[in-house]
Structure 1
């Protein structure tokens, strides 16, 4: 227990990533012993192992680290959410992925926010939202399969209802450099464009701008890209090459069975 405590104490923040050599050096434990304990902690979900090292796992985050991480995200994103809401005159969301759902961390937009049926601390089905699709697009196909059954639930007639359709939609999101569009898939008459905030190990959150069904959300995609870029650089202190300007094709985003004209507006 003393050795486990020595190791766990090194992970001071949810974003802390440490290599095997670093953990061994800082704890003074032999490398073989350190590796054995780290491997056990990973198997028990106290830690996760990625290409960049070890970091806190879902079990540790569930004991309070998650809220620390959420506070860090909110603090980094808050000024950029406000600026995006002011510039677009739309409602702006910040959310994280939690299994097959999204969890709303923040919402900005003044009086207009009252008309959007979402709330801070609330949840929505991920594959029915722009926020969720923006994050799901960067998970492996195996992870998507693990989160959803062959037939997945619909929220509205426009929602994706089958796993193969979801895979096709996520492929479209990736081809649009990560921009996800939602038109009435979660709530009727709501339009949204979302983009994930991505770290070294994948998506950590997403930002979206939301309006009514007639809102030209494709046109404000570059502003969403700028907000995500700013938050990503603040969180990870580095520029991300995948955050480019919104591609022209985002103005003609295909529906699940047709073509959306430019200026049309899909939710977050």
Structure 2
């Protein structure tokens, strides 16, 4: 009897042996994130993997630092690098589908070419282009890229990144596309400040393509820009008159995205973006955790 009581009162459940390698421990953690929008707390991760809380926290911090996970007030979720391994294409398809009706309405109402794009580091990546016959006169293409700081689309998204992120991304300088392109970081910061002062409206006249002007607006969640749309005309067009339509279109797309946010991986709190560019395996080999 005494031995039974002492066994109940004094013993603790035996924890299964922990995976011996860092790669296996990282795999245990990453395997928990089955969906782009799934959020898990540190306690949930430690409990479900069987890792000590301190070990789990140390590994997670490093995964956050290199962008494989993101930390938010409600827990952790897959980061931009993990989503880029396959989830990014799903997100792009969902974003394009959600925005398509608004893009077509905007093109019909204005007679202008309309773009949809996302930010990929220092470039914009074009997801869609609508505009009938006039679209052939605009030298952009779906699947194409352009320097973000030279386009209204890109500047509209860059305006909502932190100054530290911008300085990091543009530490090696800004490439010039035309004689009108922004070429200095101070000039870029000043331009992005003006964009924020215009409720996010960005203008570009001949900075990316000679003779072409654009008005752009970011599609923003609380975590930052998830994309942007722009109206494209000739450089002398009074693009300011399209500002209410651009703002309204952005609101319409974001309303549509509300029911699709889990597919898009849109975070609802500020994200922490890592600067290092290492894979989980490289992280494991460099870590003593």
Regarding TM over 0.5, the answer is yes
Instruction: Count the aligned residue pairs.
Output: 237
Shift of 1:40: 3.7
> Which whole-Å CA distance do the structure 1 matches of 2:179 and 2:86 have between them?
38
Q: Which residue of 1 aligns with 2:89?
A: 67
Per-residue CA distance 1:80-133 (angstroms, 9 max, x = gap): 111111111111111111111111111111111111000011000000000000
Alignment of 1:174-253 (within 5 A): 174-236=196-258
Which is greater in Rg? 2
Contact 2:201 2:215 in 1 (8 A): yes
CA distance in 2, matches of 1:104, 1:65: 17
The counterpart of 2:39, out of the listed 3, 14, 18, is: 18
Please give the residue correspondences for 1:143-182 in structure 2 after superposition, counting only pairs within 5 Å: 143-149=165-171, 151-182=173-204
CA displacement at 1:34 relative to structure 2: 4.6
How has the CA–CA distance of structure 1 residues 7 and 144 changed in structure 2, closer, same or farther, with 3 Å as cutoff?
Answer: same
> Deviation at 1:51?
3.9
Q: Extract unaligned runs of 5+ from structure 1.
A: 239-268
Could you tell me how far 1:41 is from its partner in structure 2?
Answer: 2.6
Residue in 1 aligned with 2:272?
Answer: none
CA distance in 1, matches of 2:78, 2:215: 31
Shift of 1:227: 1.3
Provide closer, same or farther for how the CA distance between residues 222 and 74 of structure 1 changes in structure 2, counting only shifts above 3 A: same
Give yes or no for contact 2:71–2:77 (8 Å, CA) kept in 1. yes
Partner SS for 2:182: coil
Match of 1:110 in 2: 132
Task: Please tell me whether the aligned partners of residues 42 and 57 of structure 2 are also in contact (alpha carbons under 8 angstroms).
Answer: no
CA distance, structure 1, for counterparts of residue 254 and residue 56 of structure 2:
32
Deviation at 1:45, TM superposition (A): 2.8
- Show structure 2 runs of 5+ residues with no match: 1-22, 261-289
TM-score (norm 2): 0.74
